[in-house]
Amino acid sequence: MEAHSLLKKQGFDVSSYGTGAHVKLPGPSLREPNVYEFGTPYKHMFDDLRRKDPELYKRNGILPMLKRNLSVKLAPQRWQDNAADGCFDIVFTFEEKVFDMVLEDLHNRDQVLLKSVLVINLEVKDNHEEAAIGARIALDLCEQIEAVESWEDSIDDIMVSFENKHRRKLLYSISFY
C-alpha cells in the first residue's frame, strides 16, 4: 500500500491487491494474527484493533498503517478476484512468492485479449521503513518505463540500468491475458 499511495500521488493509475486467502495482520503473538476477509473495510479493521489493544497496535505500526490505507482505498482486494477490474500494463509484486502466484493466475486465465502485461518483482521486507524505500524505487522504475515509447522493445535495457543504479535484482516476466 505504500507504493500504491506514492504512485497514486504521482499521477499513476494504480490498483493494489493481496494474494492470500485472507488478510492477516500481526496480533499479540505470532500464533494469534488478526485475520480478516478480503473486502473488510480498513475502517473496520482499524476500529477493531483500536478496541482490542490500542497501545500494542499503535506501537507496532498497524494502526498508523491502517489509517494510511484508509486514505488510499476502502478495503483490501484479492488479486485472484480482479478479472473484472480491467486490463493492467504492469504488475508489481514485492515478494517472490506473490510474483509466482500472479504469474500462475495470469497463465490460468482465459487468454481472450492476448494483451501483454509486464510482471515485476521488487523484493521488499515487510516493514514500514523498507516499504517506503521500495515505494520510491518502484516509482523510479515506473518513471523509467513510462519514458520509453514501447516498454516491450526496451525492457531488458531498462532492467539492467535499474539494477545497476539501485543494486537490486529484479525478477520480471511478460505474460499475456
Mean pLDDT (the chain) is 92
Q: Is the pLDDT of residue 144 over 90?
A: yes
Domain annotation for the chain: domains and CATH numbers:
1-15+82-176 (3.40.50.2300), 23-72 (no CATH)
1 within 8 A of 29, measured Cβ to Cβ: no
| pLDDT at site 176 | 82
Q: What percent of the chain has pLDDT over 70?
A: 97
Summarised one tens digit per residue, pLDDT across range 104-143 is 998 888 766 678 899 999 999 878 889 999 999 999 999 9
* E-state strands within 60-158: 90-93, 116-121
Query: Three cell numbers at 2?
Result: 505504500
